Amino acid sequence: MKGIMSAATTRREMIRLSGATLAAFYAGGAGPSGQLPGQPAGEISPSVPATPPSVMAIAAHPGDSFFAMGGPVALATHQGGGGTLLSLTLGERGSSTIAAAQYGSMQREASRKAASLITAEAQFLEYPDGELPVNDEASLAVCDLIRRYRPSIIVTHWKGSWHKDHRACYEIVQNAIFYAGLPALTRGEPAHEVRALFFADNWEDADNFVADTYLDITPVFQQYLGACSIFPMWRGETGFRYNDYYSSRAVECGCLSRCRQAVALMSPAGQRVRYLHALQEI
Ligand SMILES: [Zn+2]
């Protein structure tokens, strides 16, 4: 984690990631391998040439995947890597005035259009909104998509949420990452080990959310806003001013990161552990 940690100089010991250091992190040039919860920590790997990052956002609802997780996805595609936004439901029960079936179709179309604006791909599993199940069927369905898209980074919900679908998504993703990395688990695609997992800064998932990583999204901020604005709810039509919240939050995080706009992320506990072989690595 040398490149990243050398930037961690503030009193809050936050990690600020620029595009360059992020690419190195994605590529495995820093940090222990096998960092995910429940897996043994590895040794610091030697530096390797940076390869384009690939980010998959996995959310309970389409709005979450773009508003709270879209920045890292947009940055990955901007750097020449892959970007996928997977929503486990269509969020079809999110409108009080539009019937669920129609609203679900609108959400699907908005997601596809928004994804194209950040050169990413939108995917759905279409579990019932509000009834997202935590079971092996859902976890294996997500596992299959992880193996298909092979992201180096996954961004998903933090479990400290009032929304049951968000908490369910957190659990499903933990299990899916575990399944995806098991070579002995035979599925349609070969096993894939996700390099790192981050939890997104989401106004609905704020219980005990503690940011430890700040990612500079300045180069893609306008693209990110453009993608989010495809969704009517972005402008506050369902009662919350997503546009004002997430755009001002990006500026706030940018101030902390000494850049224009940034997003805050939280690492799983095991991923925060550092393995140093020399004091110079601090
Ligand atoms: Zn949601």
For residue 216, the CA-to-ligand 1 centroid distance in Å is 24
For residue 174, the CA-to-ligand 1 centroid distance in Å is 18
Residue 282 lies in a domain: no
Domain total for the chain?
Answer: 1
Residue 39 lies in a domain: no
Residue 41 lies in a domain: no
**Across the chain, what does the average pLDDT equal?**
87
Residue 70 lies in a domain: yes
The CATH number for 123's domain is 3.40.50.10320
Residue 239 lies in a domain: yes
Q: In the prediction, which pLDDT does 276 show?
A: 94
Tokens of 216: 């500079």
Residue 278 lies in a domain: no
Neighbours of ion ligand 1 (CB under 5 A): 60-61, 64
For residue 246, the CA-to-ligand 1 centroid distance in Å is 14
For residue 251, the CA-to-ligand 1 centroid distance in Å is 22
For residue 126, the CA-to-ligand 1 centroid distance in Å is 14
Strand residue runs (E) in 107-206: 121-127, 153-156, 196-200
For residue 205, the CA-to-ligand 1 centroid distance in Å is 9
For residue 209, the CA-to-ligand 1 centroid distance in Å is 16
Tokens of 132: 């997202």
For residue 190, the CA-to-ligand 1 centroid distance in Å is 31
Residue 279 lies in a domain: no
111-131 confidence digits (pLDDT tens): 999 999 999 999 999 999 999
Under a CB-based contact definition with an 8 Å cutoff, are residues 223 and 78 in contact? Answer: yes
Looking up tokens 């300045």 gives 218
For residue 165, the CA-to-ligand 1 centroid distance in Å is 7
For residue 236, the CA-to-ligand 1 centroid distance in Å is 14
Rounded CA separation 179/182 (Å) = 5
176-199 confidence digits (pLDDT tens): 999 999 999 999 999 999 999 999
For residue 65, the CA-to-ligand 1 centroid distance in Å is 8
For residue 202, the CA-to-ligand 1 centroid distance in Å is 9
For residue 94, the CA-to-ligand 1 centroid distance in Å is 9
The per-residue DSSP string of 137-148 comes to HHHHHHHHHHHH
For residue 171, the CA-to-ligand 1 centroid distance in Å is 15
Domain hosting 170: range is 2-33+46-272
Residue 25 lies in a domain: yes
The Cβ of residue 182 has, within 10 Å, a number of other Cβ atoms equal to 12
For residue 233, the CA-to-ligand 1 centroid distance in Å is 12
53-86 confidence digits (pLDDT tens): 999 999 999 999 999 999 999 999 999 999 999 9
247-276 confidence digits (pLDDT tens): 999 999 999 999 999 999 999 999 999 999
What residues are paired with 94 via a beta bridge? none
For residue 64, the CA-to-ligand 1 centroid distance in Å is 5
Rounded CA separation 74/71 (Å) = 5
Is 41's pLDDT higher than 50?
Answer: no
For residue 23, the CA-to-ligand 1 centroid distance in Å is 29
Rounded CA separation 4/25 (Å) = 8
Rounded CA separation 270/251 (Å) = 29
Rounded CA separation 97/272 (Å) = 44
pLDDT confidence bin for 13, thresholds 50/70/90 = very low
